[in-house]
Structure 1
């Protein structure tokens, strides 16, 4: 069962009316069915403060956290394209900012919570490590990573196959590498910066190798 209630889903989706029916349907579907949403909402008590969503796409998760009272400000960064434009339009009038940026090199604002959902494994290994090291310096409270675990046997094989099919359908070239780092390598730069790191399954009935890496600083 999703932790995002139906009324909140409709409130968020309504903000994408100008983006068209496809975008609204995508937003509804992700908020209803993506197991990462339930896991993240369950953690966001009382709230996540200022949320920085890196690789935010349409921005629906960040806006749901904001409109659901689980964040007080959100910033989303993603590559240029319709998705980030739709996110910016949906955020009108809210304490939210969505901008086109290359998260591998763009300056990152200080925040309370960083979200990295299905982002890192699409980057080369060196850039993943660099981004995690930078994130560890600007996150005051926590970092949440929905990661692809390459060490889960048949689940990992299914994940690789589905990613290859997706890239073929989208006609993406060799530059769209599938490079999930082992989970200890993802955790290392965060642990070195003083975060306590835990990892939970995040596949909820799917055959995918998704996990949620939770890195939290001890309260002052």
Structure 2
């Protein structure tokens, strides 16, 4: 049995409450989902902490942004100066845009397998690459690399972590069966993702991002070489 997800730090608790309040007019599901996701997902603290350590992400492109809660948390905490979010789900995009009132954020419906990406400081993608069709993953990585002036940040499903990967795949397939979602789960080897970014001029690090969970999630950070 995995350990429980560590409780959010007091400052993070206040930030989660602030961001969640922005979804007061959203569906009941979203009002419950947003605070739970921000509190329980280890990526929240990892990505927000990274943004603070590097002095902010600047203009962030959040690919597969969903309801936009992570991008808004970056804005509210000062970890981003501007957010552009893209997601294929128009309902989620509408909820994200409504929650972003009076913030420098814009959310739009887009198919990441085809969409052109605007130039930004940081390209962010969390838990999306492995859900894209196999033939679309490398082109998306190349467009992320071209768009990101300073860094790329990705939370990835690592298919080469033994029991964690096997359990993660089983959970993904069970969830898709319940939702009747026919999309394939095709996680790309993390080493191949790193190689793609390094060939484009990024220096990459990969660290575990599964605190308190049995999942095979890692955080990849690529910093463009030659920048101060």
TM-score where L is the length of structure 2: 0.92
Residue 103 of structure 1, CA deviation = 1.1
Unaligned runs of 5+ residues in structure 1 are none
The equivalent residue for 1:27 is 34
User: Is the CA contact 1:8–1:67 (under 8 Å) kept in the aligned structure 2?
Assistant: yes
Q: 4+ residue runs of structure 1 moved beyond 4 angstroms?
A: none
Q: Which residue of 1 aligns with 2:125?
A: 116
- Write the distance in 2 (CA, Å) between the matches of 1:69 and 1:213: 21
Describe how 1:1-220 pairs up with structure 2 within 5 A: 1-2=7-8, 5-45=12-52, 46-173=55-182, 176-218=183-225, 219-220=227-228
TM-score (normalised: structure 1) = 0.96
Aligned length: 218
Query: In the TM superposition, what is the alpha-carbon distance from 1:124 to its structure 2 partner?
Result: 2.0
The separation in 2 between residues aligned to 1:14 and 1:5, in whole angstroms, is 14
- CA RMSD of superposed structures (Å): 1.2
Contact 1:2 1:37 in 2 (8 A): no
Contact 1:146 1:210 in 2 (8 A): yes
Which stretches in structure 2 are left out of the alignment for 5+ residues? 1-6
Kindly state the Cα deviation for residue 2 of structure 1 after the two structures are TM-superposed: 3.4
Cα distance, 1:123 vs structure 2: 1.1
